[in-house]
Amino acid sequence: MNVDAQVSPPPSGRPSLPVDVVMRREPVSGPMARWQPWRWVLADVMAAGAPVEVSVGAGEPVAGAPQEVQPLPGAAAVEGARYWLFSGLRATLYRDDAEGYFLNLNSPSPCFWVFWRADEGQLVDGEPMAVPQIATLSYHDAGRWLDAQEKVDQVPASPEVVEWLQAFVAEHHHVEPKRRKRPDSFKPLTDRFGQPARVSTDKMVARRGGEGAR
């Protein structure tokens, strides 16, 4: 028997989708415009090629130089807005975060989340530009960034991306069966040192006997 032929080799990489991210700078309307005349929002995340495998030790890529573009076809027009495209990013899938992708797929609208930061080194009309840092399909990633009070926006994922994500989740997400919780009365008693405790009724019986003899 050839043992080597029976053992599957460990995965050499992680599934990853190259993406382009489009950020929009739009005028703020209403009373808020007195303090903040402009704001940045995520306009779109688009697949920039076929999924690839990236090495396990690979870090997050850095977005390329921004390129000003016209509004995307079919996108809602925002008067006075300007658009910048950032290429070179990717959305990578991690097997130990399959639940995060599962939760995304089971939301009303599966989406991309993008974590972005204002870059003082790149200015638009004297103001910092919004530069995307990481794109993800994980519900857990987005939650951690929001808990850290980072800037996070979301846009719906395309049907093709959703299909790709569904295939990954179907292979790697396994729902753990719920175990029946035993009542507390079945738990062994321990003392404050964690050692098994013994309950004695001798003193209680003696006390009751003494009270009855009075």
Answer whether residue 183 shows pLDDT above 90: no
Boundaries of every domain in the chain: 12-172, 184-213
Strands 82-92 and 38-47: unpaired
pLDDT (mean) for 150-159: 97
Tokens read off for 136: 């993800």
The pTM of the full predicted model, rounded to 2 decimals, is 0.75
> According to the per-residue pLDDT averaged within each range, which of 33-37, 130-134, 178-182, 184-188 is highest?
130-134
Answer whether residue 4 shows pLDDT above 50: no
- At residue 80, φ and ψ (nearest 5 deg) are 80, 0
Q: What is the mean pLDDT of the chain?
A: 83
Helices and strands (DSSP H and E) totals, the chain? 5, 8
Q: Return d(Cα 115, Cα 86) in angstroms, integer.
A: 13
pLDDT-derived band at 189 (thresholds 50, 70, 90) equals low
